[in-house]
A and B are shown apart, each in its own frame.
Chain A
């Protein structure tokens, strides 16, 4: 088991462009979470999936953000019409069940110019 992986590790984009990130969780984990960390803050919850179902979205997740987890395996997080305020580290985590230890990937650092 190689742990949670995320791709890309870094993304630089211009304001107004769309970006997509991918997360591959630990294979048997049903739960998948997305968090965002901005400068000087701790990671903040964005959304989570139980298998392929997206069960909750934070108020932080504006209409420009969409997340999917087709077939309950990998997940993608897309940001449309990026803004400078979207610059952050986007972290993905997975767990076997609710309230179990969450295992994190290395994150995707997004810079919006």
Chain B
């Protein structure tokens, strides 16, 4: 059974703090690692897709890294703002089995206090 783990489950930070989350996934038959941001009452928003070991992606104050050999990815948010409050989901896709369906972690819920 393929399993994706995310930590922490939840995080409360002050505006301006920097923070990071971890996603661990199976390292065999890896195809891609996806990060999504999901704000309440909205659609999950795709942040990054990473496929290569050592990949680093950046979007504004948010960045992510990927280590496929050891099976983990980090998401960093620099200078958190209240609008960053959301659940951050990572998802793994594999060459094994279905063509491209995503296996999600349970998410990290971030709350940023002004």
Contacts and interface: CB of A to CB of B under 8 A. Distances in A.
A56 B96 CA distance: 13
A16 interface: no
- The size bracket of the interface on A is 20 to 34
Interface residues of B, number: 26
A104 B99 contact: no
Given A41-B106, A42-B105, A105 B100 contact: no
Contacts of A107: 43
A63 to B, nearest CB: 20
Given A91-B44, A103-B46, A106-B42, A45 B106 contact: no
A101 B106 contact: no
A42 B98 CA distance: 18
Contacts of A70: none
A56 B106 contact: no
Given A56-B98, A56-B101, A102-B102, A42 B43 contact: no
A8 interface: no
Interface stretch (B29-37, B62-70, B75-83): B29-37
B32 A99 contact: yes
A-B pairs, 6 with minimum CB distance: A42-B104, A98-B99, A99-B100, A98-B100, A104-B44, A45-B101
Interface of B: 4, 6, 31-32, 34, 36, 41-46, 49, 89, 91, 93, 98-107
